[in-house]
Amino acid sequence: MKNKHLLGLVDWNAEDIQTVIDTAFTFREILERPIKKVPTLQGKTVVNLFFEDSTRTRISFELAQKRLSADMINFSAGISSIKKGETFKDTAQNIEAMKIDGIVMRHPTPGAPLHLTKFVDAVVINAGDGTHEHPTQGLLDMTSLQEKFGKIQGLKIGIIGDITHSRVAKSNIIGLTKLGAEVTLCGPPTLMPVNVEKLGVTVNYNVDEVLLWANAVNILRIQRERQGVSYIPSIREYRANWGITRERLDRIGKEITIMHPGPMNRGVEIDSDVADSNNAIILNQVLNGVAVRMAILYLLLGDKPKEED
Ligand code: CP
C-alpha cells in the first residue's frame, strides 16, 4: 500500500483500491468457514474510537478485528474522560501511550482522522468523518458491485438522495470514478453540491431517467442530523419525488440492483418491498463490509514479508 493510513479514498490510487477489493474476496471465503478466525493480526492491538453513533461500521470493524485475532478495545466518547474536559489530543496520546498499533475512528467533524495522525504514530482508519468521507463504506459498496457484476469498469451507477451531507456519496463518487464506472447523481437540487460535476460525475434530477439508465442505484437517506435547516418541504414530498417505491420501479419495468448503506428510513427514500426484494443487495453490502474491513486491517497493520537480500 502506498498509504500508511486510510483517511479517504481521495488519497488512494486505483491500484490500491482494487487490491483492497481483491483481498476482501479472499476474506469472504474465511467468513463462510465453520471456524471464522485466522491468526493474521495476532499480537496487534486496535482501538475503536467512536465519537458518533454507529451500528454497522462499529460491529463490522469489531468482527473484522476478532476474525483476524487482533486485540481490540472499544472507546465511546460518551463514557470517557472527554466528559470531564480532556482534549481530543490528550485522549488520543494517552490511548497510544498504552502501546497500540491502530486506531479506527468515527467523528462528526470532517478532517478529525487527519488531525489525529498529527498526534499519534499508530495507523489511523477513518470510519466516517462528518460530511467528508466514509472510505470503508465506499470500498464495501464497490466490492458488492464487483461481486454482482464481475467488474466495476464501465458500470453505470446512480446515487440518489442527500448528496451534500453524505460522506458515503463522496467516497463512492471518488472510488467508482477512479475504477472507471460512470456515476450519475440525483436528488433534490437543494441537496446537490454546487459544481459537483467537477468530480467527474453527471447530475440528473429525473429519478425515472436515472433508474432507466443505471445498472445499480445506491439510495441515501436524508441526513437530518447534519442539516441546520430543512432542505425539503416535507417527507411526503421527498418520497413522492425521490423515493424508490415499488410503483415507480413497476412503472419503469426494468430490473435494477438496489443498494443502501444503511441506516434506512423505510417509507421515505426506499419502500420496504423494494429494500426486501430479490434485486436488493443491501445485506450483501453488510457482509462484504466485514471482509473489506478485514482486508484494510490486514493490508495496513499486517507484518510485511521481509525483502530478500
Ligand atoms: N453505513 C453506516 O455507516 O452505518 P452505521 O452508521 O450504522 O455505521
CA 237, 241, 242, 243 torsion-angle sign:
positive
Helices (H), 98-132: 112-117
Read off the C-alpha cell for 216: 445499480
Q: Is 135 in the pocket of ligand 1 (CB under 6 A)?
A: no
Q: Is the CB of 171 under 6 A from ligand 1?
A: no
Confidence of residue 306 (pLDDT cuts 50, 70, 90): low
Residues 69 and 119 in one domain: yes
Q: Which residues pair with 6 in a beta bridge?
A: 125
User: Which residue among 48, 53, 56, 74 has the greatest number of ligand 1 atoms within 8 angstroms of its CB, and so is best to mutate?
Assistant: 56
Cell matching residue 245: 417505491
**Is the full-model pTM beyond 0.75?**
yes
Residues 268 and 198 reside in one and the same domain: yes
Quick: pLDDT tens for 35-93: 999 999 999 999 999 999 999 999 999 999 999 999 999 988 877 788 888 998 999 99
The closest-lying atom of ligand 1 relative to the alpha carbon of residue 134 is 3
| One domain for residues 146 and 183 | yes
Q: Looking at the domain assignment, is residue 165 inside a domain?
A: yes
Ligand 1, atom 4, residue with closest C-alpha: 56
113 and 183 share one domain = no
User: Is residue 303 very low, low, confident or very high in pLDDT (cuts 50, 70, 90)?
Assistant: confident
Residue 53 lies in a domain: yes
Task: Please give the Cα distance from 1 to 156 (Å, whole number).
Answer: 28
Residue 229: what pLDDT? 63
Are residues 185 and 115 part of one domain?
A: no
Q: Rounded distance, CA 287 to CA 176, Å?
A: 20
Kindly indicate the confidence band of residue 30, based on its pLDDT and cuts at 50, 70 and 90: very high
**Do 246 and 295 fall within a single domain?**
no
The pLDDT confidence band at residue 305, using thresholds 50, 70 and 90, is: low
pLDDT digits (tens, 9 = 90+) for 218-255: 999 987 766 666 788 889 999 999 999 999 999 999 99
Per-residue pLDDT reduced to its tens digit, 92-138: 999 999 999 999 999 999 999 999 999 999 999 999 999 999 999 99
Do 129 and 140 fall within a single domain?
A: no
Mean pLDDT across the stretch 148-164?
Answer: 97
Tell me how many domains the chain contains. Answer: 2
Domain for residue 230, yes or no?
yes
pLDDT cut 90: percent of the chain above it: 89
- Specify the pLDDT at position 83: 80
Task: Categorize the per-residue pLDDT at 297 as very low, low, confident or very high, splitting at 50, 70 and 90.
Answer: very high
Q: Which atom number of ligand 1 is nearest to the Cα of residue 58?
A: 8
CATH number at residue 61: 3.40.50.1370
Per the domain annotation, does 2 fall within a domain?
no
Same domain for 65 and 42: yes
Segment holding 74, helix H or strand E: strand 71-76
> Is the Cβ–Cβ distance between 267 and 276 less than 8 Å?
no
Indicate if 145 and 281 belong to the same structural domain.
yes
In a domain, 306, yes or no: no
Rounded CA gap, 170 and 185, in Å? 11
The residue range of the domain holding 166 is 135-286
